[in-house]
């Protein structure tokens, strides 16, 4: 049994064949999928999917790319939608200083605010950090993110940051890029992070693992990421599947449905 801890099933890339995608995930042993609605137009679609698929859960929030869209209505709407019992975390929130699709000062402000909102809602957070490791860490500390806990998704920083996040009770989620040929440095870091703190994810439709790199990503491919984690750590695939599933269900507070 596996869990895809982070995918975007509400994105247009899955519009045509969502049912087949979810079916293939089941056939590959992916028991649960956590789908992340990153902006207003996607939140209700994410809930439509979770309401019609008992093995899919939702994560809602405003992605750093979309934070300029936040207005007076945004947080009240999100607060309401997050009461839905299929919503298991708040996110993805954080900082993206690589693509910089939103001004940095707005990203910083909205990241802080949304951690506060997640704490108020009693939900763990899913953090997006791209080329903003130091700032992410500082905000997690200053906003007391240890009180809600959560996941650093698509982890891409060094071991030191992983360690600081684990000390705050955060899990580290590994994407398909661990399978890439040039990811030797990243694999060394994953080797050092204890299995008890790891999750696996696709971030589908993005970041497709080998041997499918270049194609659209989908939850069934999380198997290739878990396989690589097993190889890197020199342990069995079954052990990686078992522990990362347990970790995901723990952090998201899911006991099966």
Binding interface with Zn ion (CB under 5 A): 92, 128, 203
Residue closer to Zn ion, measured from CB, 40 or 128? 128
Task: Give the helix, strand, coil percentages of the chain, each rounded to 5.
Answer: 50, 20, 30
Q: How far apart are CA 235 and CA 221, in angstroms?
A: 19
Residue closer to Zn ion, measured from CB, 4 or 92? 92
Residue closer to Zn ion, measured from CB, 143 or 203? 203
Residue closer to Zn ion, measured from CB, 33 or 233? 33
Measured CA angle at 97 (ends 94, 101), to 5 deg: 85
Least gap, CB of 239 to Zn ion (angstroms) = 26
Least gap, CB of 234 to Zn ion (angstroms) = 29
Least gap, CB of 201 to Zn ion (angstroms) = 8
Q: Is 27 helix (H, G, I), strand (E, B) or coil?
A: helix
Residue closer to Zn ion, measured from CB, 92 or 143? 92
Q: How far apart are CA 139 and CA 64, in angstroms?
A: 14
Least gap, CB of 207 to Zn ion (angstroms) = 9
Residues 11-48 as b or e (16 or more Cβ within 10 Å = b): bebbeeebeebbeebeebebbbbbbbbbbbebbebbbe
Contact between 117 and 94 under an 8 Å Cβ cutoff? The reply is no
Least gap, CB of 37 to Zn ion (angstroms) = 10
């Amino acid at each position: 049994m596996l869990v895809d801890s982070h995918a975007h099933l509400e994105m247009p890339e899955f519009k045509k064949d969502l049912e087949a995608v979810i079916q293939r995930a089941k056939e590959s042993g992916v028991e649960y999928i956590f789908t992340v609605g990153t902006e207003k137009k996607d939140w209700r679609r994410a809930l439509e999917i979770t309401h019609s698929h008992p093995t899919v859960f939702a994560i809602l929030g405003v992605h750093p790319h979309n934070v300029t869209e936040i207005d007076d209505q945004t947080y009240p709407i999100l607060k309401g939608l997050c009461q839905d019992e299929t919503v298991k975390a708040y996110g993805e929130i954080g900082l993206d200083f690589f693509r910089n699709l939103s001004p940095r000062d707005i990203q910083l402000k909205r990241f802080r605010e949304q951690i506060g909102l997640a704490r108020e809602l009693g939900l763990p957070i899913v953090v997006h950090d791209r080329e903003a490791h130091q700032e992410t860490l500082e905000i997690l500390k200053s906003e007391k993110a240890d009180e809600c806990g959560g996941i650093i998704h698509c982890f891409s920083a060094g071991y030191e940051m992983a360690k600081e996040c684990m000390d705050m009770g955060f899990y580290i989620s590994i994407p398909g890029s661990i399978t890439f040929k040039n990811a030797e440095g990243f694999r060394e870091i994953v080797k050092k992070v204890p299995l008890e703190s790891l999750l696996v994810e696709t971030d589908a439709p993005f970041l497709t693992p080998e041997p499918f790199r270049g194609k659209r990503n989908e939850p069934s491919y999380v198997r290739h990421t878990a396989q690589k984690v097993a190889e890197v750590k020199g342990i069995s695939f079954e052990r990686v599947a078992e522990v990362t599933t347990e970790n995901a269900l723990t952090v998201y507070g899911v006991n099966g449905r």
